Amino acid sequence: MKITLITVVYNNAYGLRSSLESSLSQTHHEVERIVIDGCSTDDTLQVLQDYTLKIDQIVSEPDNGIYDALNKGIQLASGDIIGILHSDDLFAGRNILRKIARKFESSSTDLLYGDLCYVRNEAPEHIVRYWMSGAFSQSRLSNGWMPPHPTVYVRRELFDRYGLYDTHYRIAADYDWMLRLLTKQTLVVAYLPEVLVHMRTGGVSNRSLKNLWQKSREDILILRNHQIGGVMTLVKKNIRKVSQFWRRPDED
């Protein structure tokens, strides 16, 4: 089973190199790697040149933000399964993609997700937050539950059926896209109960109070559009994050 990994990057040469090394270390070999660069001005293009023979497709051109870049990658993808490994992300082990492929091969799963650890940017071995997802049920959505987007893998045809990321949302288009899928009664959703990805802290949504405010506004609009809830659902969504700061994977 072929898995397409899409990596979006802009001015993150250091993170990109370690992310690519993490990708290349995977024991599952049927992997298509696509990198979408937003015309970086640092050493990112030099890193990409170093890995030219190991990346299937490289696009470096201006884009309209991270979700526009992701949509470009999705449209280029030829894999059976599509996942995302951003330039700040690392796989939690060498067999992650093999486990994901086996789950899709052995079941009718449409969408798979797992757990995620936020790690220090300068010391990725140090865990800051542990996001243990837990099993999926649609009733949990109105209580602010959602899977960590970097751990989500889907069959490619779902993008044809339900659409790409809505670029009208600048920060929370991943939340909109996940709710678009997870509210479908016929979708077969699987939880892989282990840490799949280590994500460096400092994501776009948390870089400033302005971004946090913008994300909250988009989240509420998305919740209302999908008729999942409103302000109280957003409050519960944020409260869920608190325990992630003291929980650790070896405790469960």
Q: What is the pLDDT of residues 6-22, one digit of tens each?
A: 999 999 999 999 999 99
Mean pLDDT of 157-178: 97
Mean pLDDT of 117-127: 90
165 pLDDT above the threshold of 50: yes
What's the confidence (pLDDT) of residue 206? 52
251 pLDDT above the threshold of 60: no
From 89-98, 190-199, 232-241, the region with the lowest mean pLDDT: 232-241
C-alpha separations of 181 from 8, 109, 212 in Å: 22, 13, 24
What's the confidence (pLDDT) of residue 123? 85
**Mean pLDDT (the chain, rounded):** 94
Domains of the chain: 3-251 (3.90.550.10)
Q: How confident is the model at residue 229 (pLDDT cuts 50, 70, 90)?
A: confident
Q: How confident is the model at residue 97 (pLDDT cuts 50, 70, 90)?
A: very high
Residues of the chain above pLDDT 70, percent: 96
Mean pLDDT of 114-135: 93
Question: Any long-range contacts for 12-15 (C-beta under 8 Å, 24+ apart)?
Answer: 12/40, 12/42, 12/44, 12/87, 12/88, 13/40, 13/42, 13/43, 13/44, 13/46, 13/47, 15/87, 15/88, 15/200
Q: Residues 170, 214: contact at Cβ < 8 Å?
A: yes
Residue 88's closest CA among 122, 40, 46? 122
Q: Determine the Cα–Cα distance for residues 141 and 108; give it in Å rounded to an integer.
A: 22
What's the confidence (pLDDT) of residue 252? 46
Task: Give the residues across from 90 on adjacent strands.
Answer: 198
208 pLDDT above the threshold of 80: no
